[in-house]
Amino acid sequence: MIMKARVTVTLKTDVLDPQGKAIHGALATLGFEGVDSVRQGKLIELELDETDRDEAKRKVEAMCEKLLANTVIENYAIDLSN
């Protein structure tokens, strides 16, 4: 059975986000007003060959800690679905 994991990786709030700032500036240049802040993050969608939800969660957490996120400056969130 396939389990889908959606991992969102975002910069911690006190970390500068030059990419978000660039998007913010570009939106202003295009005439979009009323944008207070922009932050850019990553989205990683995984398909796992795993039936046990808890085991899948443990696995994806390990992937985040080891590869997908830099936990010094980034937070991650995991969303599992069948």
Site string for a copy of itself, 37-56 (x = CB under 8 A): xxxxxxxxxxxxxx------
Smallest distance from a copy of itself to CB 34, Å: 4
Q: Which of 12, 15, 26, 52 binds a copy of itself (CB under 8 A)?
A: 26
30/72 with CB nearer a copy of itself: 30
Collapsing DSSP to helix, strand or coil, 1 comes out as coil
What lies within 8 Å, CB to CB, of 19 at 6+ separation is 40
Long-range own/partner contacts, residues 53-57 (CB < 8 A, 24 or more apart): 53/3, 53/80, 56/3, 56/5, 56/80
Amino acid at 48: L
10/57 with CB nearer a copy of itself: 10
68 near a copy of itself, rule: CB under 8 A: yes
34 near a copy of itself, rule: CB under 8 A: yes
The encoded tokens of residue 71 equal 């936990």
